Amino acid sequence: QVQLVESGGGVVQPGRSLRLSCAVSGFTFSNSAMNWVRQAPGKGLEWVGVISDDGSNKYYADSVKGRFTISRDNSKNTLHLQMNSLTTEDTALYYCARDLGGYAFDYWGQGTLVTVSS
């Protein structure tokens, strides 16, 4: 069955960096665009960014542009989110999600929690 498993979350100080990963199984990862979505505690969903199936195209929300970088390793069925210059505003549960051909996000992981605090 389809599984998306995020990892790499934790507590980090403001200004520091963190790298999240999303291990995928159950579908052809190399044929799918992938997204990161986050949710601050008690708040709604915020799209973070997307990477195309071959990694050649990436788009980001304005709130993370220039600080976050999405990458993927199709040989390892793994998605990454490199987060630099973290602020307390980045505290959230981070989900990876598969892009349903540009229509919506059909598969989601369970999320990994990032807490930015001094």
Partner 1 sequence: EIVLTQSPATLSLSPGERATLSCRASQSVSRSLAWYQQKPGQAPRLLIYDASNRATGIPARFSGSGSGTDFTLTISSLEPEDFAVYYCQQRNYWLFGGGTKVEI
Residues that bind partner 1 (CB under 8 A): 35, 37, 44-47, 50, 59, 61, 95, 100, 102-106, 108-111
Q: Is 77 in contact with 109 (CB distance < 8 Å)?
A: no
DSSP run (H or E) holding 35: strand 34-39
Q: Alpha-carbon distance 118 to 116, whole Å?
A: 7
Vertex 8 angle, CA 110 and 11, to 5°: 105
Nearer to partner 1, 17 or 100 (CB): 100
Least Å from the CB of residue 106 to partner 1: 5
Nearer to partner 1, 55 or 108 (CB): 108
Nearer to partner 1, 61 or 115 (CB): 61
Least Å from the CB of residue 21 to partner 1: 16
Least Å from the CB of residue 44 to partner 1: 5
Burial of 31 (0-12, 13-18, 19+ CB in 10 A): exposed
Nearer to partner 1, 39 or 115 (CB): 39
